[in-house]
Structure 1
Amino acid sequence: MQADGDAGNATLEQVTAACYADIEAEDYTGARTRLRRMEAMGRTGKRLAHADWFITLMAAESDCDSRGIEQLLSDNDREFGALIRGQRVALVGPVPSKIAQGAEIDEHDVVVKFGYRGGDKGRDPETQGARLDVSYYNNSQAKLLAESNYDEVFASIRWAVCNNRKGLSHFPEDYPGLRLVASLQWLLPDTHLNAGPNALLDLLRFEPSGIKVFNTDMMLSSGRFAGYFPDGAKSIDHTRSFIKTHDPILQYQLMHRLWVCGHIEGDERFEEVMEMGLVGYLNELQKAYGANTRALV
């Protein structure tokens, strides 16, 4: 991607892909040079501002905050930011856990979870924490929720956040307490962020005092807590998902960099996964999904 982006006849898409490649390679000077070229090629100001913020975040530069992307913020974003800014945030994943860390989760100022559809699902006081302030939804989760009594669900939490416009479209326009993430999808090389990295980048825009990740192991466990998937849902072929939709190397590199820079920390299992490094993580991923004994393609 970097070589393609260096070519004199490179397209805007190739320069954009090269910019991301520079970021992953930790060449932040090169990434900003690409931004200037992208601007000369007609890339919009809002996207450039968001990308510049992302580079600053990944470079762990001291002035990384949301003021540089003020033009990206909607009124909903500003209200949401008032909840997050300066607060200790617990980001709780859906991986089942037997570790009694619910009390620690609930002690945080803000508790963030995924795909909440009401009731006690995902709110086990012992392992997941009973609190829930913010829930993120992918398109499938948003569609499922929209077909139920979502008013009651949304009334029980402070904010619901959709990961894409398609998910948001399932609800009435300007529904209170509902917002859309500012996506970096356009910058990524033909892949999508998983729920965890997507939520982390969204939250970090609003300058929390810290984020701690719980019940998350970067897909090394394919199971989810009881009730996370609806009854009768088809099983997910994760190996196909890795190839087609969610590049695991990109996901890990991004999360690992956020961890190395001190933007996030995690519970014992998350720290263990981060300490594996990329090669160790991929070895464990292959074991988890059978790639040592069968072909993926």
Structure 2
Amino acid sequence: MLKPLVLAADVGRRAVRTAAKAPGADLALARAVVAAGRTVPAARGDTLRPDRSRLGALHEQAADVLFTANPDGAARLLAATDVARIDDADRLERLARRFLAVDEYEAALRLRRRAVDLQPENPVRWGALAASLRRSAAGGLVRDSVAGLVEGPVAEEEAARRALARAVELAGDDAEIRFELGCLTFDQGRTEDGLDHLQGAVARRPDARWLIEYAHRARRPHVLQLDRALDAYEQALDRAPHSNVALRGVISAGARAGQDWPRLWAAAMRYEASLRRGLARRQALAAELEPLVTAAHLDAERAETIMALLSHAETRGTRLRWATTSLIVLRLQFAGRLRDGFALRRRLAERTLDWLGRSSGGHAGHRQKVLAALLALGREQEALELIDPLPWEPDSRRGRRQLEKLRADAQLAAGEPGPYLEYSSQVRSEVPLPGEERMAALVAGRRVAVVGPAQTDDQLGELIDSYDVVVRTRFQAGFVAENAARLGSRTDITYYAGRDQELLAAEGAAAAEAGDLALVVARPLSMDAARGLLGGELPEWLRVARHDFSLCYHGALLGVPRIVYDVLQFDPAEIALFHADFYAGSQAYSAGYWEEQHIGFGPYSKMNDVIASHDLAGDFRFMQAVAATGRLTAHGASAEVMALDLDDYLERVEAAPLFG
């Protein structure tokens, strides 16, 4: 859906900008967009989350484009609106939804309060008010998929809970109310209670959208209830077999959890059957592939046969759908056929480019996908030409930040760190975040050692301790002390992955409170989880990283590359890398770093994320790009591995004990 929506949105924006140049036309256009909602109501009087017809969904998309493309008209409409004199609750809701589209949170809240005054016995009005109270005013933070943590709304959580409680009183144990309560409870940090409310709601009303939203929360890194997520994604796919989001959720959750390949393949076949065009040819190809992909042991001969069948079918114009092919990529890689899997993923990247094209129509998410696909194919120069200079003039400051971030990351991937340093400095000055001043004081202009957890023979502890700042993954005092000759004895900064938030709140917090650490860093997507686990406040020793590298084609950067990316933004004199062999060594982690069951791939292993949620080839190319800037120096086993070319590196990983 992304490509046609982007192109249509671009046409709409151009038309609005042209029409709005006439005197008074911008206000008339804004009024017309809101008034048009009367023919396709945003919500009926007896439901909070209405099922939208195709016409209703189209209206919502068009209205968002037309309203956001006309900010002057929206502002003039807001100034001309006397909320106290509006006696139509449906009209108030249409206005609220439109103003939310342009981030006028306080205006939407005023409108919904007025709607409650008019219809105090209508649970829908209280539910809408609760939603606005969760986004009541500017001045907070939200996570943007491109730019990371950016300015957004703040929440009046207790007031929202009271409004939702009133909706419960009026509607009883209604499925929709319970779903809203589950979202609010989960987002306040009461994870298990929130999931239970959501599960109860979808049991009564198994709507595909609800099931997907529930599953997304169940699989978040700090939750990782993967079987729960998998069941919900499968139910969503049963009800919406055309849903690419549902199938990709099934594949991600299933590959990280039980790795029941026949079950995942069956889901992919339901998805394939939802597209009639070319179905007979695709089903014939799938029938040949099924015994190979679903085999308990996928050996070299079976893997070669899979690749040959796919190549032969493609020459005849037959391809399985993108998401189904991505399942085959994971199956090959978990079987130790990394190079075959990455060759197939590069073909997926080429398909992404063929489908999306290069005309992003002012849509940063579209441009992000195009740039990520080009980098996956090693076409950095083409990526730069599509983002530098900025390809369009954004409608908002957030839109500009998205493009600037994409440009900075593309430049870094091409070996030029300057734009990333400049971008990071600018956003820190505009919207300071807790812990950033302390991080800058520790890192800027200093020599930083980044120490990974790999098992190597390097005895570099003395050299590591000679650096100004020592950074480690997941701090463990006993583990460091036992391995001081290899790993050094000091730790100044430690990073925790999203899945390790409970460890952060336990061992990381204890070490920081005792003065053994200067700073603990969590990922951007972990902000709410960290706050919830730490009693609702962020202590001075905790920093939530602002942003991640935005141009990964599959997943996000793994731990050590992510740390290097984050440290780099503070302009250190040098980053030195130790004990990170990127899974090409004798074992994944040093003895004692993780429990025995998590040092290789297999059902429910934490190691599964390395393949299911990340991209070893992309990470390796990223690290070599950073080394090319002159800002990163690798030592010992890290230097040996980073000197390899990509194919030799992947061959080394394939031979590692990870695959058993």
For this structure pair, what is the TM-score category when the shorter chain's length is used for normalisation?
Answer: 0.7 to 0.9
2:405 alignment counterpart: 50
Gaps of 5+ in 1: none
1:168 alignment counterpart: 530
Deviation at 1:68, TM superposition (A): 2.7
3-state SS of 1:228 partner: coil
Greater length-normalized contact order (CA 8 Å, ≥ 6 residues apart): 1
CA contact 1:22–1:30 (8 Å) conserved in 2: no
CA contact 2:455–2:579 (8 Å) conserved in 1: yes
Deviation at 1:164, TM superposition (A): 3.6
Give the counterpart of 1:109 among 468, 472, 486: 468
Q: CA 1:132–1:38 in structure 2 vs 1: closer, same or farther (change >3 Å)?
A: farther
Deviation at 1:110, TM superposition (A): 0.5
2:503 alignment counterpart: 144
Return 202-211 or 147-156, whichever deviates more: 147-156
Q: Are residues 1:227 and 2:588 paired?
A: no
CA contact 1:94–1:224 (8 Å) conserved in 2: yes
CA contact 1:15–1:34 (8 Å) conserved in 2: no
Q: Are residues 1:276 and 2:630 paired?
A: no
Return 99-108 or 185-194, whichever deviates more: 185-194
Task: Give the root-mean-square deviation of aligned CA atoms.
Answer: 3.0
Q: Distance in 2 between matches of 1:113 and 1:90?
A: 8
2:41 alignment counterpart: none
1:170-210 Cα offsets, whole Å, 9 max, x none, are 32422112111223365432412100110000001011011
CA contact 2:449–2:578 (8 Å) conserved in 1: yes
> What is the TM-score of this pair, normalised by structure 2?
0.40
Give the counterpart of 2:380 among 21, 26, 41: 26
Q: CA 1:39–1:286 in structure 2 vs 1: closer, same or farther (change >3 Å)?
A: farther
Q: Distance in 2 between matches of 1:62 and 1:273?
A: 22
Q: Are residues 1:215 and 2:579 paired?
A: yes
2:558 alignment counterpart: 194
What does residue range 54-73 of structure 1 map to in structure 2 within 5 Å?
A: 54-61=409-416, 63-64=418-419, 66-73=421-428
Q: Are residues 1:159 and 2:510 paired?
A: no
CA contact 1:92–1:214 (8 Å) conserved in 2: yes
3-state SS of 1:273 partner: helix
Deviation at 1:34, TM superposition (A): 8.7
3-state SS of 1:105 partner: helix
- Number of residues paired by the alignment? 290
2:238 alignment counterpart: none
The one-letter code sitting in structure 2 at the alignment partner of 1:176 is: E
3-state SS of 2:448 partner: strand
Q: Distance in 2 between matches of 1:149 and 1:84?
A: 20
Gaps of 5+ in 2: 1-351
2:480 alignment counterpart: 122
The one-letter code sitting in structure 2 at the alignment partner of 1:224 is: Y
Q: CA 1:49–1:288 in structure 2 vs 1: closer, same or farther (change >3 Å)?
A: same
Runs of 4+ in 1 over 4 A off after TM superposition: 7-12, 37-43, 231-236
CA contact 2:579–2:636 (8 Å) conserved in 1: no
CA contact 1:4–1:18 (8 Å) conserved in 2: no
> What is the TM-score of this pair, normalised by structure 1?
0.84
Deviation at 1:150, TM superposition (A): 2.3
Deviation at 1:219, TM superposition (A): 1.3
Deviation at 1:105, TM superposition (A): 0.3
